[in-house]
Structure 1
Amino acid sequence: MPSPEDSANGIPSTPPTGHGHGHGHSAPSASRRTRRLLAAVLTPFALAAVTGAVLLYPFGQHSAPEAKPGFTRNPVDGVVVAARTGSCTTGGTSGQGTGGSGNCVLLRVELHGGPASGSTIEQRVPDEPTTPEFGVGDEIVLSYSGDSPRESTSYRIVDYQRGGWLLVLVGLFAASVIALGRVKGAASLLALTLTMTVLLGFVLPAILSGAGPLLVAVVAAGLIMFCVLYATHGVSARTSTAVLGTLASLSLIGLLSAGFAALTGLTGLDESTSSLISALGHDIDARGLLLAGVVIGALGVLDDVTVTQTSAVWELHHANPRLRWRELYSAALRIGRDHVASSVNTLVLAYAGTALPLLLTYKLSGQSFGDIATTQDVAQEIVRTLVGSLGLIAAVPLTTAIAATVVLSENDTRDGAGDGSGARSEERRADTYGVLDVVRRAAAEGSTRAVLGAARPRRGSRSRH
């Protein structure tokens, strides 16, 4: 029973439950039960990811097996100090594979690294459309064979040196993220760092040491998913809901990709994978490598969809706490339809942009689209795109359903549902609103007795119903 002072000041009290003890401590709250359930579901997966990483990481081994001769060379930085056009047959000092008549660009390169740092060597680059155009002042990277450090034939131009400008771009990106996102932005950069650490520090060494690529990708996806989402969005029921939705959708993507890769006869033996196998000197699961790329590639888009859907459900519930489960689910699903439509288009365009040179090559061959689509290189991109899109589509209803269930469970606790009954919670909310109205009217009239007298019949009327 509230005191007259509390009622006169407009402070409502929780009405007693049907058992006469509204603050029982015999059972945990609905929200606490939900959080415990989320933890019970997610903890085994987190432990499995950590255990898998420990078992698959090549402790005590080199991060990569020794590659065949001719594939790996020590990189050396250099700067072009002179350039002129000349014959490719003169001198033959380049080691660039000019081999024949024609015009070449004769470069004088000052070495800025390696055992002959500070010395100058000559390089000849064929003047062809398929080779880069180097000029005075260009910073380049050369490969060094390890023999005769002052001989030009021990070096070969590999590419431009892009490190400086890439660092500028990275700094601009980081500054933009922090300027807009502030604390959230800094957390997202931390998450990005964790992702790169997992990819470079675990995925690559584990696969190169002979572990199954698909298994490595699944473990890595688990590590990235847990670390990134909790680091970015904090430890909460909302984040756990997004993690659970991501986990379910990613499992579906893994099953679909494995199934359709087998059904369509995809081997994964494209040009880059064949070169990798040749360089390693031992076999590698090419199809597993393809599936690993599908899983890791889809994860980045999946967590965006699941986090957005979870946030949409929470915000809709915050805006209108009276929404029932079906109403909340339907409203959030409408938001998800728009999001998944744009995300699928983004995924398709991303893969199409990557495969654009390949598509142009096939287009020049004069083959029909059906013939082009069934080739190994194009078919694997189609499977990758469509399987990832199916995972995105499934993520929306799955995550929305989980989020609606969790957020309404938390709401039941805030409503004071000691026995977990949704019906009693709604009745108590209506009674509270009615008592508040009477309190406001009575307070305006200055009559505390009227408050208590008006509130009792309302409780009694509920028991009669």
Structure 2
Amino acid sequence: MGAGHSHASTDHSEPTAQAMAARRKANRILAAILIPITLLTLAGMAMLWPSGSKEGISLANPYSTAPGVTFDTGTIKNVATENCMQGVATQEQGQGGRPQQGSGQQPQGSNCTFAFTEPDQGGSPVKVVINPDVATSHGVKPGDRIRYLNLSNAQGAASTQGSPAYIFVDFVRTLPIVLLAILYAFVVIAVARWRGLRALIGLVGAYFVLASFMLPGLVEGKPPLLLALVGSTVIMIGVLYFAHGFSARTSTALLGTMFGLAITALLAWWATSAANLAGVGNHDATTLINTSANISISGVILCGLIISGLGVLNDVTITQSSAVWELYELAPNSSARKLFTSAMRIGRDHIASTVYTIAFAYAGAALPILIIVMLYDRPLGETLTSAELSEEVIRTLVGSIGLVLAIPVTTLIAVLVVKATGIRQEAPAVVTTARANAEPGAPRTAPSGFRRRAATELTDDGAGLSAGGDETFPTRRSRRADRG
């Protein structure tokens, strides 16, 4: 009976007055550190805020069209493979034209894929020619919604006979993406509830900072290192507090995140220069170079290296902060060294799994490049240091180093904060009550789940723990005795 009551007492639905006072003290300590950093970050953001001017930028919009040319959408009703000239001739005859031999014709024997598409704005089905690469790699099928270029009303269209009037541009992906977004939001809110909703709203705020501050700043040639540090810090402050609330745990995680962010930024700054990451061979980088003289491709890469690790860095720091608090609440009389050692056991497990997460995430994103490089049959060392893969490799290494170092720092900060709160009380009732009721050497009642593991790690003696008095969880000392 005593064991059952003591087990129930571990469910702290209402914190004690002493615990609330300790939390307030911890919050004051952390506020004295974080408020100046936050004010400095906001001041830097105000100084670096972009003007929004696009003067000197020359970028041709691929979706701008000539007079009479439009981008239309429709649903494919039928797909056919025909001789390219026959398909064009049929299309022109349907428009009242007459097929002619022209310089833009395909060879007489080649075949093209045509999609008979019903326009969304109504009217008769049109014959859209599908790009050969799309037809070969993915293909199209009835029911697909596509976007196509309508050249039928273009100026001079009558004099360009021999060319298709409707050309495939892209698939319309609005519906599947919206459905996935709704499903994602539903799952997050259903599992995490109010905290999940706040995390989603925080994510929207993070993208606002990225789109309105960091990207325009890069276009205007602002210092990329400061831009990435200030923008990432603002994002982390907003996301962490909005999703997890104002608490000592969150503030501790924020301090650890800032440390990991600083390490990542310094390593990214050094690696970008030392490894000569210039974006050579990247089509998008070439486009940006020709867009404006203010845009630095190396600066863009530097910002990308810093931003890419934010999510995982936030994950490990908030986990370590919560782990320290849980361990401390189980055994508040444990020493700082024992508390740090126990929390780092959890941290080492997290490090091992997170390193794989980062590596596989980047490998998945770069899979087409990996296949192409593999087909080149180049030596492994030369492949990993090539222009195609070096950026992904450095991104993985820089992000991993930052998050690995953030774990012990976050753990240390959390231990210092919880010990500075000054709570001094007896060990939890689940341990003390069992000690009073059990004979020396007898098993004690163990809490469930995480608390069972924490109590096992933090108790000073070597006696085992048991759940409900039936199942025994022996410690290292008792297991050695049994083997002896």
Cα 1:296/1:72, change in 2 over 3 Å: farther
Higher mean C-alpha deviation, range 160-169 or range 276-285:
276-285
* Counterpart position of 2:76: 80
1:72-124 C-alpha deviation (Å, 9 max, x unpaired) = 56754322244322223453889xx99633211123334436xxx75754321
SS in structure 2 opposite 1:189? Answer: helix
Say if 1:301 and 1:60 are closer, same or farther in 2 by CA, change over 3 A: closer
Alignment TM-score, normalising by the size of structure 2: 0.71
- 1:268 to 1:223, Cα distance in 2 relative to 1, 3 A: same
CA separation in 2, counterparts of 1:204 and 1:384?
A: 19
Distance apart, 1:401 and its partner CA: 0.3
Q: Which has the higher contact order (CA 8 A, sep 6+)?
A: 1
Trace 1:159-174 onto structure 2 (pairs within 5 A). Answer: 159-174=170-185
Q: Distance in 2 between matches of 1:216 and 1:146?
A: 47
Q: Give the equivalent residue in structure 2 for 1:137.
A: 143
> Does the 8 A contact of 1:64 with 1:209 survive in 2?
no
- 1:124 paired to 2:125: no
- Cα shift at 1:341: 0.7
CA distance in 2, matches of 1:43, 1:159: 49
Q: Which of 103, 113, 117 is residue 105 of structure 1 equivalent to? A: 113
Residue type of the alignment partner of 2:232: A
Q: 1:263-314: CA deviations, max 9, x gaps? A: 2222233414334325625452111111111111101100000000000000
Instruction: State the alpha-carbon separation in 1 of the partners of residues 150 and 207 from structure 2.
Output: 28
* Contact 1:273 1:286 (8 Å CA) reproduced: no
Tell me the percent identity: 35
State the shift of 1:226 in Å.
Answer: 0.5
Could you say what the CA RMSD is over the residues aligned between the two structures, in angstroms?
3.3
Query: Which position in structure 2 is the counterpart of 1:288?
Result: 299
Aligned positions of 1:153-232 closer than 5 A: 156-232=167-243
CA distance in 1, matches of 2:403, 2:152: 49
Alignment of 1:190-339 (within 5 A): 190-277=201-288, 280-282=291-293, 284-339=295-350
Shift in Å, 1:222: 1.2
1:447 aligned partner: none
Aligned-partner SS, 1:280:
coil
1:352: how far off?
1.2
**Structure 1 residue matching 2:324: 3-state secondary structure:** helix
Q: Is the alpha carbon distance of 1:99 and 1:246 closer, same or farther for their aligned partners in structure 2, counting shifts above 3 Å?
A: farther
CA distance in 2, matches of 1:80, 1:61: 42
- Distance in 1, Cα, partners of 2:379 & 2:211: 40
The count of residues paired between Structure 1 and Structure 2 equals 384
1:51 to 40, 43, 48: 43
Partner deviation per Cα, 1:344-397 (whole Å, 9 max, x = no partner): 111111111112221211111121101111201211111111111111110111
Comparing 336-345 with 376-385, greater Cα deviation is found at: 376-385
CA shift, 1:149, in A, is 9.2
Structure 1 residues 296-351: Cα deviation after superposition (integer angstroms, max 9, x where no partner): 11011000000000000000001111111111111101110001110011111111
> Could you list the runs of 5+ residues in structure 1 that have no partner in the other structure?
1-28, 416-428, 438-465
1:47 maps to amino acid: L
In the alignment, structure 2 segments of 5+ residues that lack a partner are: 1-20, 93-102, 158-162, 434-484
Cα distance in 2 for residues equivalent to 1:98 and 1:33: 78
1:33 Cα deviation after fit: 5.9
In the superposition, relative to structure 1, how do residues 223 and 111 fare at CA in structure 2: closer, same or farther (>3 Å)?
farther
| Partner Cα separation in structure 1 for residue 282 and residue 408 of structure 2 | 38
CA drift at 1:183: 1.7
Would you say the 8 A contact 1:80–1:108 is kept in 2? yes
